[in-house]
Structure 1
Amino acid sequence: MSSKVTIRRLPSGVPGLDNLLGGGLPEFSFNLIAGTPGSGKTTLAHQMMFSLATPEYRALFFTVLGEPTLKMLRYQQQFAFFDHDKINQSIRFVNLATELLEGDFDRVLARIAAEVKDFEPRLVFVDSFRSVVQSGRPQDGNVFDLQHFVQQLGMQMTSWQATTFLIGEYLAPESESSPVFTVADGILWLSQNLHRNSMVRKMQVVKMRGQAQAPGLHTFRISEAGVQVFPRAIVQPHEAVGPAPAGGTERVSMGVAGLDEMLGGGLPAGYSLLAVGPSGSGKTILSTAFLAEGARCGETGVIAAFEKSPSQLLNNKLHALVSAGQVGVIDTRSLDLSIDETLHDLIEMIHRMQAKRVVIDSLSGFELALAPEFSEDFRGSLYRMVAELTSMGVTILMTSELEDRYTDLRFSPFGSAFLADAILVQRYVELAGQLRRVFSVVKVRGSDHSKDIRLFDINDEGIVIGESLSEYDGIMTGHPRIGS
């Protein structure tokens, strides 16, 4: 017979946060929300409080700031999560400024205890707890009183069956010696970093006792809706980028006559295809054909276009597909994106539309749209994103701008060709006094494919594949022979 105690997990009410915490907030836990000034600590605390508080599950919010509570609420009520009807019914605000004037820990603790006994809350917040610490420090630097205060507060809140949150501004070196970091059951660390002209907010679950939290730093945004966390995609040890070998698996058509034959019968379902080539070589047209063919076969698709605005994108054949609800468009107009945020939007739309095909056009534009902090680790972040998407079973077409150097053959400007299960290269060649486009399939993982270099043209109908370049052997000028 198991004597294991089951700890109830409270939903935080913050999108994405429960995934970081390992399923939610442990009930009756003693937590610290810490970080740099302006990183969103108070907003995060209020969003959780307004989400959880009910007349039967009340919340008590202690403020120790010099500014009045009404001033704080004036700004917090701008967020969508704020509910004025809960004030004084489900939520009570208490200011501890008077008790802090004398710097007496016992008096502060007694006031907190009296308010808790009177209101009987299930949630207790103290903002800013660091103000309590600083006001109570004696001149001789006696840390024992502070440690005793923290321990007493934690024990009392637990005995009152209250889930507690202490909010404070801390710097990393300070956290190593602060007793509250030792006593706390859970620690959320918030930060905001200015990198060149971009500001990026990040969150870390430093610890959460009794449950497995998501490791590492995770980006988050603060909008009119409040805080939204974008959990960092983590490749599990048993996962591999790309599906199993293609022998006997289902194939999907690319929508270009002749290309399926070059791929060995079409692109294996669930594969990622990287189409690379210089500007104007037809990568976006190929993407359109791929999505249009999916719609013809009853498969919905999603496109994230980073080189064109939605209005420019919808001037082509995609307009009818989007209008018919067969293709969804990810809005990528905002800069300073993170890959985790883009992946979140992609997964959300894939689930909503039950999409089978995904296009990212292009990786080059995607890198430019990212905040500089993320573009520096673009290769690693892209690895996690492709692994997450392919594990969902969708078929992916990624395009990438590739400068045609005319003297060598490359497959990716990021050294990330290994991420793709299949690679299609588009190039220009000078042939019989004309600049012509050519296709070549570099690889299809686990499957045979054509080794030919095929000419192709682009007309009103799309891409038209022509004969093999071998028909013109010895006539090509101006460029080295591919593969030489």
Structure 2
Amino acid sequence: MNSKVIIRQLPTGVPGLDDLLGGGLPEFSFNLIAGVPGGGKTTLAHQIMFSQADPDHRALFFTVLGEPSLKMLRYQQQFSFFDAAKVNASIRYVNLAEDLLQGDFDRVLKRITEEVQAFSPSLVFVDSFRSVADSSLHNTNSPGAMQRFLQQLGITMTSWQATTFLIGEYTVPEADSSPIFTVADGIIWLTQSLYRDTMVRKIQVLKMRGQSQQTGLHSFRIQSDGLAIFPRAEVTLQHSAAAYRSVIKAEQRIPMGVPGLDAMLGGGLPMGYGLLVVGPSGSGKTILATQFLAEGARQGEPGVIAAFEKSPSQLLNNTLCTLVEKGHVGLFDAHSLSLSIDETLHHLVALILQMQAKRVVLDSLSGFELILAPEFHEDFRGSLYRMVAVLTGMGVAVLMTSELADCYTELRFSPFGSAFLADAIIMQRYIEVGGSLARVMAVAKVRGSAHSKEIRFFDITSDGIEIGLPLTNYSGILSGHLVLEQKPPSSENITA
């Protein structure tokens, strides 16, 4: 056999699903869409059907439920993918409830075959196939009828020049024993569960013959457009290579927009680095991030800011408002949402590509943990690692802010123990000087690069952050207090 059979892949029309399947649905395959009640199985089937159906590729949808097709269509019409003009033209609905009540599986199979031969569809759906299985439990006169019916239906479906789908409600133990899971070429499993008052929906491609699908569970939402799937972010060799290249090319640096800070970093922030700015509330983290984005606009480098903690009205100071209004900075508002890490990353990457951004600000990691769907809290470090690795792997510079309670008795750089994922760390804190609070800043880390070890005063003025004198100008540190030898720096004596 010298010729290789090429199987055409059909696009599903479901955002993210083609990526999970390995490119699309194999044409003429026999597939099972299974899962728990209310998980989105029927909506997924309709979304695929309306995406593919046209006068040259018709679809046949069998319903075996007691409710009429009109009731099902009433709800499916609420989604934007629904096209009423295709019903009865490119899409036909057939109800098998009456045939199924007779308990004669040969009759049901004959009816399905007759309808397929008469309509010549390219797509065939049977919903809910579980109803067929349940009816066999009441058919005591035909032991083994259900298994024979499944085998015959599977053989018949594979002979049709159509891509077919069985839709049914199954649990995991049933999947291990049901023969339909063996016969199917592809199995798509949908689940939903309540996790700490939040509904979490997941999709998994258990099986797809002849192509490499993405394994594991992936989150999805049911929206007005139907299902939107967010494939799980994975740290690939490409991301690792990009991160490695950014380390060995540390001479490619970008200015921070704060006079004096570039020198403290050893010449600016290396492109592709993740910078963590930590400090207590009010220490100036968001102001530093604003200057970072404003400098990008001056350099012709668009930016993106993700608001995880504050609403846009709270976050957008005059400078940021101007940057957003002029299109220099894109804003991702997520502070009021409950998102998965994959959905967050999906929206961020889309905005980065749209803006062609070179600088990204995540403000803040503390807020990100709060808006993240509860099920991800237990693996917050892992989720954060995947997100930062993907973003820095795109070659953008990422500035992350994180609130950290000021403590004189210990030195920490992250409340999550996640400082390891940052390529550079800037620490801000308060100190008491002569009965007043003063702000100081230090560069704790710049991977692969020399940097200043000095702790320097800084002020927040109408022009932003201004770096002042080193703390070495003062002496007498006792129990976290400083004995002042000279007047603390002010905006008049700040040096760059």
Distance across 2 between alignment mates of 1:131 and 1:480: 77
Distance across 2 between alignment mates of 1:279 and 1:395: 24
1:249 Cα deviation (Å)? 3.4
Distance across 1 between alignment mates of 2:482 and 2:276: 23
Unmatched tracts of structure 1, length 5 or more: none
> Who is 2:193 aligned against?
193
* Residue deviations 1:162-219 (CA, integer Å, cap 9, x gap): 1011101111111110011111111111111101111111111111111111111110
* Residue deviations 1:120-164 (CA, integer Å, cap 9, x gap): 001000000000111123555977432332222222222111101
Amino acid at match of 1:109: L
1:315 Cα deviation (Å)? 3.6
> Who is 2:392 aligned against?
390
**Conserved in 2, the CA contact under 8 Å of 1:357 and 1:395?**
yes
1:314 Cα deviation (Å)? 2.4
Unmatched tracts of structure 2, length 5 or more: 484-496
**Conserved in 1, the CA contact under 8 Å of 2:404 and 2:414?**
yes
Give matches, 1:33-432, under 5 Å: 33-137=33-137, 144-237=144-237, 239-240=239-240, 242-244=243-245, 245-247=247-249, 249-432=251-434
Amino acid at match of 1:59: A
1:90 Cα deviation (Å)? 0.6
* Residue deviations 1:428-479 (CA, integer Å, cap 9, x gap): 1112222111111111111111111111110111001111111112256535
- Note if 1:32 corresponds to 2:32: yes
Cα pair distance change 1:480/1:174, threshold 3 Å: farther
Q: Which of 146-155 and 32-41 deviates more?
A: 146-155
1:239 Cα deviation (Å)? 4.3
Distance across 1 between alignment mates of 2:141 and 2:298: 74
Distance across 1 between alignment mates of 2:389 and 2:175: 35
Q: Which of 397-406 and 258-267 deviates more?
A: 397-406
SS for the counterpart of 2:429 is strand
**Conserved in 2, the CA contact under 8 Å of 1:363 and 1:399?**
yes
- Give identity over the alignment, percent: 69
Cα pair distance change 1:304/1:61, threshold 3 Å: same
* Residue deviations 1:278-330 (CA, integer Å, cap 9, x gap): 11111100110010000000010000011111122224310010000000000
Distance across 2 between alignment mates of 1:386 and 1:246: 19
SS for the counterpart of 1:274 is strand
Distance across 2 between alignment mates of 1:20 and 1:227: 14
Question: TM-score, normalization: structure 1?
Answer: 0.96
Cα pair distance change 1:248/1:388, threshold 3 Å: closer
Total equivalences in the alignment? 481
Cα pair distance change 1:165/1:451, threshold 3 Å: same
Distance across 2 between alignment mates of 1:239 and 1:338: 21
**Conserved in 1, the CA contact under 8 Å of 2:360 and 2:398?**
yes
Amino acid at match of 1:309: S
Amino acid at match of 2:347: D
Question: TM-score, normalization: structure 2?
Answer: 0.94
Q: 2:465 aligns with which of 463, 466, 472?
A: 463
**Conserved in 2, the CA contact under 8 Å of 1:33 and 1:167?**
yes
**Conserved in 1, the CA contact under 8 Å of 2:250 and 2:270?**
no
Cα pair distance change 1:253/1:141, threshold 3 Å: farther
Q: Which of 433-442 and 111-120 deviates more?
A: 433-442
SS for the counterpart of 1:71 is helix
* Residue deviations 1:8-63 (CA, integer Å, cap 9, x gap): 11000000111111111111111111111101110011001000101100000001
Could you say what the CA RMSD is over the residues aligned between the two structures, in angstroms?
1.8
**Conserved in 2, the CA contact under 8 Å of 1:294 and 1:300?**
yes
1:236 Cα deviation (Å)? 2.2
SS for the counterpart of 1:242 is helix
Amino acid at match of 1:366: F
Distance across 1 between alignment mates of 2:212 and 2:385: 24
SS for the counterpart of 1:132 is helix
SS for the counterpart of 1:199 is strand
Q: Which of 232-241 and 332-341 deviates more?
A: 232-241
Distance across 1 between alignment mates of 2:424 and 2:389: 14
Distance across 2 between alignment mates of 1:461 and 1:438: 18
Distance across 2 between alignment mates of 1:270 and 1:141: 70
Cα pair distance change 1:479/1:202, threshold 3 Å: farther
Distance across 2 between alignment mates of 1:355 and 1:462: 23
Distance across 1 between alignment mates of 2:461 and 2:118: 78
Amino acid at match of 2:243: G
1:237 Cα deviation (Å)? 4.9
**Conserved in 2, the CA contact under 8 Å of 1:246 and 1:447?**
no
Distance across 2 between alignment mates of 1:26 and 1:156: 18
